Structure 1
Amino acid sequence: MVFVYGALLAAAPGDESFLDAGWTSSAAERLHPYGAAVAESWATFVQDTAHVTAWIRAVAHWPLMALTLLWLAHRRQGVYVRGAIALLLSSSAGLAVFASLQSFPVREVSLVRDYLALPGVHASWYLLMALAVVATAAKVRARVAVMVLALSAVAGAVLTAEHHLLGALLAVGAPLLAWYAAGHLQDRDRVRRRSAVDASHAAEPEADVVPFRHRGGAVEPRADADLVPLRQAG
């Protein structure tokens, strides 16, 4: 409609043209409401799409993390525990760093809300879930796809952050350190439990072993024993 309207306007640049100027102006006036309606509808569609996309980006990480953790708990308990500990450590460290950069006094509710609104925080969650999936998934294609998606989210968070250094620290530094710290804690706990089991086995007293003595030769009957004849069967 907009192109037709422009063509009709261009067809009558002056008073003399091959089309009647009065007919052209009347047709343009008739088409003008349709063009305005189409432009208004398109602007409304673009605005609604932007709102839906922003809402999906704001809430998509919560169900994604929940489904990933449930899948890890069903497949590998060790990786599930490591991912949960890494999430806790990464979020705590990131919140502490973010709070140290704010001016005091800071309200707790607004501090947590502003921290969760940072794109680097969501990217750190994606990276941790990707590391857990890579450690669990058996197919190489699934590992590569998950890691590519996580790295793209990390790159977008760092590039769009207001402070690139803070964005890189929240999106990459904190989750990687938390992941390896959680693995170290698991290794220490595993070694401690193995040492406790070995110590309990070592503390148990050994049972006395009685040697078996083999008697050679046939057993001779005693002289004072009475011989009892056997009854013939049948």
Structure 2
Amino acid sequence: MIGYFGVRGLTDSSQARALHNAAWVEAAERGLHLGWESRLQSLVVDDHAITRILNWIYIFGHWPVIALTLIWLLSRHPELYARAAGAMLLSGAAGLVIFAAFPVAPPRLAGLGMSDTVTEQSHAYRVLQPPAFTNQYAAMPSLHVGWNLIMTMAILAATRKVWLRVLAVALTVSMDATVVLTANHYVIDALAGAALAHLGWHLTGRLQARARRQQQTTLEGFARPSPLVVARPGRTG
């Protein structure tokens, strides 16, 4: 939390650099044929029923879902809870470094003519994420996408129930679409967030596997019987 506020303080005064970096991201997307944000939002922005749903997903499909998922994992699958929490910490730490080194203005602030549907149409957003707790130049990477994906991977690893697995996948897919359609992130932001999430999940899994091997080796060492020492008769006289 201290790190987040430190980065927020650094980037809040970096509007010019954030806009410059946003222009760089837009150019990279054009080169990769990924500059879909304006075109996609234009398909839904005039339908208030759709934008209301998107706003709800963006607001209530992130922190509330993460909290409920972590509570469920902690009570039912503590090892997966530790892996998910570790993946969030690792990807979040990497995200803070990127936010500080490469602040990026989101599409809604980059002069692309896109509407900030969440702020314009919803009051609940400022209740769950008041301005003092948000960094408006932290578009790259999208931790909305990344951390939702971590929850999805944890749920898929924890259960074989079809309905729950489908819901987990929908959690990620809907957030992927929402962050772009609400003009909060570029397509590349979403891809970067997903990549960080996969990296954090993979590294945490490897650390847990190493810890299990070390624990097993230690237990085997305690369980292994000590070799008998046979005393040889000594010479006398």
TM-score by length of 2: 0.54
Q: Distance in 1 between matches of 2:169 and 2:68?
A: 17
Equivalent AA in structure 1 for residue 226 of structure 2: P
Equivalent AA in structure 2 for residue 143 of structure 1: R
2:126 is matched with: none
CA offset at residue 98 of structure 1?
2.1
Determine which of 187, 190, 198 is the counterpart of 1:167.
190
Contact 1:127 1:154 in 2 (8 A): no
> 1:78-97 maps to which residues of 2 (within 5 A)?
78-97=79-98
Residue-by-residue CA offset, 1:191-229 (whole Å, 9 max, x unaligned)? 111111222334x53579xxxxxxxxxxxxxxxxxxxxx
> 1:194-233 maps to which residues of 2 (within 5 A)?
194-202=216-224, 204-205=225-226
The reply to whether residue 148 of structure 1 matches residue 170 of structure 2 is: yes
1:181 is matched with: 203
Contact 2:61 2:171 in 1 (8 A): no
Q: Distance in 2 between matches of 1:178 and 1:56?
A: 24
Q: Distance in 1 between matches of 2:70 and 2:137?
A: 22
CA offset at residue 175 of structure 1?
0.5
Residue-by-residue CA offset, 1:117-169 (whole Å, 9 max, x unaligned)? 77922121211111111111231232123213312312443564554323320
CA offset at residue 110 of structure 1?
7.9
Contact 2:62 2:144 in 1 (8 A): yes
CA offset at residue 70 of structure 1?
0.9
> 1:29-68 maps to which residues of 2 (within 5 A)?
54=55, 57-58=58-59, 60-68=61-69
Contact 1:120 1:154 in 2 (8 A): no
Any idea what SS the aligned residue of 1:113 has? coil
1:229 is matched with: none
Contact 2:150 2:197 in 1 (8 A): yes
Equivalent AA in structure 2 for residue 148 of structure 1: A
Contact 2:145 2:190 in 1 (8 A): no
Aligned length: 156
CA offset at residue 116 of structure 1?
6.3
Q: Distance in 1 between matches of 2:151 and 2:185?
A: 25
1:225 is matched with: none
Contact 1:124 1:154 in 2 (8 A): no
Contact 1:90 1:174 in 2 (8 A): yes
Identity of aligned residues (%): 32
Q: Distance in 2 between matches of 1:124 and 1:115?
A: 17
Q: Distance in 2 between matches of 1:167 and 1:51?
A: 21
Contact 1:119 1:157 in 2 (8 A): no
Contact 1:161 1:167 in 2 (8 A): no
1:191 is matched with: 213
Cα separation, partners in 2 of 1:206 and 1:72, compared to 1, 3 Å: same
The reply to whether residue 132 of structure 1 matches residue 154 of structure 2 is: yes
Contact 1:95 1:115 in 2 (8 A): no
Structure 2 gap ranges (5+): 1-47, 105-130, 230-237
Equivalent AA in structure 1 for residue 95 of structure 2: G
